[in-house]
Amino acid sequence: MSIAKRLLHGLVSILGASVIIFLISRLSGDPLALLLPADAPPDVIEQTRQHLGLDQPLVAQYLKFLGHALTGDFGNSYRWQEPALGLILDRLPATVELALAALAFSIAMAVPFGVLSAVHRGSWFDRFAKVFAMVGQAMPNFWVGLLLILFFAVQLNWLPAFGRESWSSLVLPAIALGWYPVAAQTRIVRSAMLDVLDSDYIRMGRAMGLPERVLVWKYALRNAAIPLVTILGVYFAAMLGGAFVVEVIFAWPGVGRTVVEAVFARDFPVVQAGVMLTSVLFVLSNLLVDLSYSLIDPRIRHG
Amino acid sequence: MSHADIATARASTDAVRGAPMLDVRNLTTHLTLRRGVVRAVDGVDLHVHEGETLGVVGESGSGKSMTILSILRLLPRQTGARIGGSIVLDGQDLLQVSEKTMSEVYRGRKIAMISQDPLTSLNPVFTIGDQVGAPLRHHGIARGEAARRRVVEVLDSVRIPSPDARLNDYPHQFSGGMRQRVVTGMAIASAPRLLVADEPTSALDVTIQVQMMALFRKIQAQTGVGIILITHDLGVAASICHRVAVMYAGRIVETADVRTLYKRPAHPYTQALLNSIPHFGQKKERLFAIQGSPPSLIDPPAGCRFAARCPHRKPLCDDAYPPEVELESGHRVACWLASGT
Amino acid sequence: MADLTAAKTASAADSAIAGAPLRRRGAIAWGTLPWFALLVFPVLIVCALGGELLLPHDPNALDLGIAFLPPAWLDGGNWAYPLGTDNMGRDLLTRIMAGTRISLVVALYAILISGGIGTAAGMLAGYFGGRLDALIMRLVDIQMSIPSLALALVLAAVLGPGFETVVLVIVITYWTWYARIVRGEVMSLKQRDYVALARVAGCGTPTIFRRHLLPNLLNTLLVLATLQVGQVIIFEASLSFLGLGIQQPDVSWGLMLADARNYITNAWWAITMPGLAIMATCLASNLLGDWLRDRFDPKRRQL
């Protein structure tokens, strides 16, 4: 599929998402009940209704919503009379930072585990890594977060458990968030390494007397990394999704936590803006995967 | 003739030509696989002098590649290989040397290898400049700018046009023939004493083959490197080999200098191979199929291994393995016919 | 995800009438059985079915006098409360057992409904192809462009928390799994001779679906359903943890973790035990699912 077609699909997905988000928030019942006191006179209610355009047919309301959304206008937060999107965008860097750190952590775990498992295939290390990965994949990320807090913050008091003050605040949340994909990523690296280690060019390298260490970590790894790197976008997207809960646990001031709080406060503009933005990023990250194939593999780059 | 007799006979030849650079005696390689112990190489003698090209000819499964891998000690761990005999290069028995020394001193430095498929011999995600320079860097021969210059020199000598400009190119940007030349360059970059080429041209088309052979000849003339050329193609063997060894079922059945072998082949297997060629020098894609198939290497027959397919078979052939006899200087054959019974 | 090809060997003519038979695998290799899963699942099911009869205590009985009892094997512990008590003096083991029921019931509903919808959608898309296929797949893409937790948040915000919300959210999130995979399988099954022969013989589409496609999908569906148990439980736990899922007085492992978070410094066991239950269930589900997948298709066995 060409890039253009994929972009089009992405666009359709985003539009579809906006429809879903719009519909769901309209399901919540009459928003007027939230804005006006219960005993407001009927004509005030009617005026407000017209003013907000809530008397229009649903489709028209949606189009209006969409139109506004495209210009970045999601309305003002019900709680603080500020543009909802602005509030979300303020928090975005924190979430992106967390997602990237989590991704870095997962790769830092997966690559050594995967490479060593492949090099020492069938050994106790290989089996241990497999078990470790299986167990890791069965642990929900919020529980991992709680355990990390319990251990490192409460018992040992080494790392902070809340907020985003210093770089050390990033450590525990990043580990909690990045924990889950390690298993899958390790499998990918291991499988790719096994293939590459069996290749002619690695055998040729050995015949040329290159040290095994160099063969594995330089010449083999760069090839084996390709399948993983190309799908990093997928994992970044997954990190964005998982960030919601992790941010709540660690009181990390990101988009996720803001949306969750807004949900409880029934602050719909913020919820809409947050979910919409996350979806856009989600789709873009997945699109990036398709683009990255051509960037990373020199064979495809040159045609 | 026993090994001792052959040694004496050879010693007299050596007196004329000097001791061989590579002297392999009674090389055996047994692989421990699930189905049993495979005697892939079962008592091979061969030698190569400086500046000489030895061709090793045989069908697939005869043990040609195994012999080479044994010399380089590159057999994978999983095969549980046990190598016996002696492999003496410049006076040093390679089987007595540590793995570390093999890797640092011999592989890629004193002995270099070129394998069959140029399309997969080069790492696709590294530039050829990096790859050709790698043996230089890792054997401590040259680094940095000096290494770069040597790489350009080497690529030039293997006739890669504008090597300087192409250092940062990737393998897929080169044609198959050029890639094989790059691989050759990588092999000779550290000026090895012995070059081993495992079917270097079977994946290439005819015109490229001719070029490659010419290149080998040129390199040999310039550097005096000894070459072992493994091939199933008698035409290729004829074009650049000085001597040829014919291998069958893990053993060498006949060795001779190239003219003698083609004019007066003594072993029925060699004769059968040559019979597939209308004239000397004309190239054939594949060996014609001789009736039957090679014996099992797990449980080889006690007698001559070619007996089952040999038109001159006698009862003696099944009973005992024929000893090697020297028919004329440098022409040895293991066949009861030649032993004259 | 599982990418099974069900191999059928019956003669085409027979199967057009009788329905394509499933291939039977050979003897069981005892050494490779997923023992952990086979131990855990029966325990879970017994807990779930046993209901109040099995519970050692009342899960909601408050007794501040025995609050914060550590697990029985530690100092200050009490074997009447083997895993300790929480801040309200409620027995953890009891609550975990009570939570099992909710978790499994949620999983059951979610899997049946999402599996049903997803399979139907997948069959329609795969069998009829064309516009219908495009439409359904577009829906899947749109659905998947919103991170599942985000979507869950919005829905929960609108519908209010509770059991039904949780099931609905899970159904909406997971039907796409089934749809995609079933579609792929059906597309390949469609090519088989016995399907064509069935059409020629005049079998109506519903019959074909019922007798030819569905039996061949059972293996895949079983694997998916098994794997989904773990996912669903983690998802429900996440929602309940955030307060959008199961509510008091019902007991959910996620809810227990949310509570325990407040007094993490006082009772590490309250955080650990429910989490272990989640982990054990998810691990069992993954192990069993992987084993089933391998059993049904040895080509896919991971080395």
* pLDDT, tens only, C92-138: 888 888 889 888 899 999 999 999 999 999 988 888 888 888 899 88
Tokens at residue C24, please? 């039977």
Rounded to an integer, what distance in angstroms lies between the CA atom of residue A32 and that of residue A47?
Answer: 11
Touch of B by C (3+ CB pairs closer than 8 Å): no
Residue B193: DSSP 8-state: S
Between CA B288 and CA B298, with CA B292 as vertex, the angle to 5 degrees is 115
Whether A87 contacts A273, CB under 8 Å = yes
Question: How would you write B296-314 as a 3-class SS string?
Answer: CCCCCCCCCCCHHHCCCCC
DSSP for C208-229, written as a single string: IIIIIIHHHHHHHHHHHHHHHH
Average pLDDT of span C165-170: 88
Q: Tell me if B112 and A208 make a contact (CB, 8 A cut-off).
A: yes
Strand ranges across the sheet with B22-33: B36-48, B22-33, B82-89, B92-93
Window A:199-258, CB contacts with B under 8 Å:
199-211, 214, 219, 222-223, 226
| Cβ-based neighbour number of residue A226 at 10 Å | 19
Q: Tell me the per-residue pLDDT of A87-126, one tens digit each, with 9 for 90 and over.
A: 889 999 999 999 999 999 999 999 999 999 999 988 899 9
Question: CB-based contact (8 Å) between B137 and chain A?
Answer: no
Closest CA to A3 of A197, A297, A294, A218: A294
Give pLDDT, residue A73.
79
Q: Which residues of B touch A214 (CB under 8 A)?
A: 138
Give pLDDT, residue B3.
53
Whether B143 contacts B137, CB under 8 Å = yes
Closest CA to B28 of B58, B61, B71: B71
**Who among A150, A264, A275 is closest to C154 (CB)?**
A275
The chain-wide mean pLDDT, for chain A, equals 84
Which residues, 6 or more positions from B122, have their beta carbon under 8 angstroms from its beta carbon? A201, A204, B128, B131, B171, B179, B182, B183
| Window from B54-63, B280-289, C87-96 with minimum mean pLDDT | B280-289
Whether B247 contacts B64, CB under 8 Å = yes
**Who among A205, A210, A298 is closest to B125 (CB)?**
A298
Strand B53-57 with B226-231, pairing: parallel
Q: Which residues of B touch A219 (CB under 8 A)?
A: 123, 126
Q: Which residues of C touch A149 (CB under 8 A)?
A: 264
**Who among A9, A137, A266 is closest to C286 (CB)?**
A137
Buried b (16+ CB within 10 A) or exposed e, C215-233: ebbebbbbbbbbbbbbbbb
For domain C39-301, the CATH architecture is Orthogonal Bundle (1.10)
CA B48 to chain A, closest CA, distance in angstroms equals: 20
Q: Which residues of A touch B94 (CB under 8 A)?
A: none
The ipTM value here is: 0.83
**Who among A150, A241, A266 is closest to C157 (CB)?**
A266
Cα A161 to its chain centre, rounded Å, is 21
Question: CB-based contact (8 Å) between A1 and chain C?
Answer: no
Judge whether residue B283 has pLDDT over 70.
no
B291 φ/ψ sector (left φ>0, alpha ψ -120 to 50, else beta): beta
Average pLDDT of span B212-237: 89
**Who among A20, A135, A266 is closest to C283 (CB)?**
A135
Q: Tell me the per-residue pLDDT of A234-286, one tens digit each, with 9 for 90 and over.
A: 899 889 888 999 999 999 999 999 988 888 887 878 888 888 899 889 888 88
Whether B182 contacts B132, CB under 8 Å = yes
Strand B251-257 with B243-248, pairing: antiparallel
What's B3-241's CATH class? Answer: alpha beta
Q: Which residues of A touch C287 (CB under 8 A)?
A: 134
A134 burial type by CB count under 10 A (0-12 exposed, 13-18 middle, 19+ buried): middle
Give pLDDT, residue C1.
28
Rounded to an integer, what distance in angstroms lies between the CA atom of residue B132 and that of residue C284?
Answer: 51
Residue C65: DSSP 8-state: G
Q: Which residues of C touch A264 (CB under 8 A)?
A: 157, 243
Instruction: Using CA coordinates, name the residue in chain A closest to C274.
Output: A143
The pTM of this model reads 0.81
Rounded to an integer, what distance in angstroms lies between the CA atom of residue C262 and that of residue A19?
Answer: 38
Cα distances from C228 to residues B32, B85, C60, C140, C178, in angstroms, run 45, 60, 30, 18, 10
Give pLDDT, residue B12.
54
Largest CA distance in chain A: 90
Judge whether residue A302 has pLDDT over 70.
no
Sign of CA dihedral A126, A128, A134, A139: negative
Residue ranges of domains in chain C: 39-301
Q: Residue C248 corresponds to which amino acid?
A: Q
Rounded to an integer, what distance in angstroms lies between the CA atom of residue C24 and that of residue C9?
Answer: 10
Residue A83: DSSP 8-state: B
Whether B11 contacts B184, CB under 8 Å = no
Question: CB-based contact (8 Å) between A273 and chain C?
Answer: no
Query: Please, which residues bridge with residue B92 across strands?
Result: B89
Whether B64 contacts B202, CB under 8 Å = no
CA A288 to chain B, closest CA, distance in angstroms equals: 21
Q: Tell me if A150 and C268 make a contact (CB, 8 A cut-off).
A: yes
- Higher pLDDT: C195 or A273? It is A273
Q: Tell me the per-residue pLDDT of A119-136, one tens digit each, with 9 for 90 and over.
A: 998 889 998 998 898 898
Instruction: Using CA coordinates, name the residue in chain B closest to A224.
Output: B125
Strand B22-33 with B36-48, pairing: antiparallel
Q: Tell me if A20 and C268 make a contact (CB, 8 A cut-off).
A: no
Q: Tell me if A20 and C286 make a contact (CB, 8 A cut-off).
A: no
Tell me the Cα Rg of chain C: 23
Average pLDDT of span B118-131: 90
| Window from A40-44, A157-161, B286-290, B294-298 with minimum mean pLDDT | B286-290
Question: CB-based contact (8 Å) between C287 and chain A?
Answer: yes
Window B:72-111, CB contacts with A under 8 Å:
72, 74, 102-109
Strand B243-248 with B53-57, pairing: parallel
Rounded to an integer, what distance in angstroms lies between the CA atom of residue B10 and that of residue A297?
Answer: 54
Judge whether residue B16 has pLDDT over 60.
no
Instruction: Using CA coordinates, name the residue in chain A closest to B72.
Output: A207
Which residues, 6 or more positions from C166, have their beta carbon under 8 angstroms from its beta carbon? C106, C236, C239, C240, C245, C246
Average pLDDT of span C10-24: 33
Average pLDDT of span C228-247: 89
Average pLDDT of span B130-144: 89
For chain A, list the contacting chains (3+ Cβ pairs, <8 Å).
B, C
Task: Choose from A263, A271, A290 for mutation: most chain C CBs within 10 A.
Answer: A263
| Cβ-based neighbour number of residue B303 at 10 Å | 19
The backbone torsions φ and ψ at residue C136, rounded to the nearest 5 degrees and listed phi first, read: -65, -40
Whether B229 contacts B221, CB under 8 Å = no
Q: Tell me if A259 and C147 make a contact (CB, 8 A cut-off).
A: no
Give pLDDT, residue A291.
76
List Cβ<8 Å contacts ≥24 apart for A299-303. Answer: A299/B124, A299/B170, A299/B172, A302/B170, A302/B172, A302/B173
Give pLDDT, residue C275.
93
Instruction: Using CA coordinates, name the residue in chain A closest to B171.
Output: A299
Which residues, 6 or more positions from A64, have their beta carbon under 8 angstroms from its beta carbon? A53, A56
Give pLDDT, residue B131.
92
Residue ranges of domains in chain B: 3-241, 266-341
Q: Tell me if A241 and C147 make a contact (CB, 8 A cut-off).
A: yes
Residue C249: DSSP 8-state: T
Q: Tell me if C282 and A149 make a contact (CB, 8 A cut-off).
A: no
Closest CA to C96 of C281, C284, C286: C281
Instruction: Using CA coordinates, name the residue in chain C closest to A140.
Output: C234
Tokens at residue A44, please? 């005030």
For chain C, list the contacting chains (3+ Cβ pairs, <8 Å).
A
Task: Identify the band that residue A142 occupies on the pLDDT scale cut at 50, 70 and 90.
Answer: very high
Task: Identify the band that residue B226 occupies on the pLDDT scale cut at 50, 70 and 90.
Answer: very high
Q: Tell me if A222 and B186 make a contact (CB, 8 A cut-off).
A: no
For chain B, list the contacting chains (3+ Cβ pairs, <8 Å).
A
Tokens at residue B34, please? 């699930």
A167 burial type by CB count under 10 A (0-12 exposed, 13-18 middle, 19+ buried): exposed
Q: Which residues of A touch C257 (CB under 8 A)?
A: 142-143, 146
**Who among A9, A14, A244 is closest to C149 (CB)?**
A244
Q: Tell me if C261 and A146 make a contact (CB, 8 A cut-off).
A: yes
CA A212 to chain B, closest CA, distance in angstroms equals: 9
Task: Identify the band that residue C3 occupies on the pLDDT scale cut at 50, 70 and 90.
Answer: very low
**HSE (CB half, 13 Å, CA atoms) of A107?**
18
Touch of A by C (3+ CB pairs closer than 8 Å): yes
Q: Which residues of C touch A140 (CB under 8 A)?
A: 234, 237-238, 275, 278-279, 282
Whether B51 contacts B224, CB under 8 Å = yes
- Best-predicted range by mean pLDDT (A163-177, B193-207, C276-290): C276-290
Task: Identify the band that residue B1 occupies on the pLDDT scale cut at 50, 70 and 90.
Answer: very low
Judge whether residue B247 has pLDDT over 60.
yes
Rounded to an integer, what distance in angstroms lies between the CA atom of residue C161 and that of residue C244?
Answer: 5
Which residues, 6 or more positions from A257, have their beta carbon under 8 angstroms from its beta carbon? A91, A244, A247, A248, A251
Q: Residue A303 corresponds to which amino acid?
A: G
Whether B46 contacts B57, CB under 8 Å = no
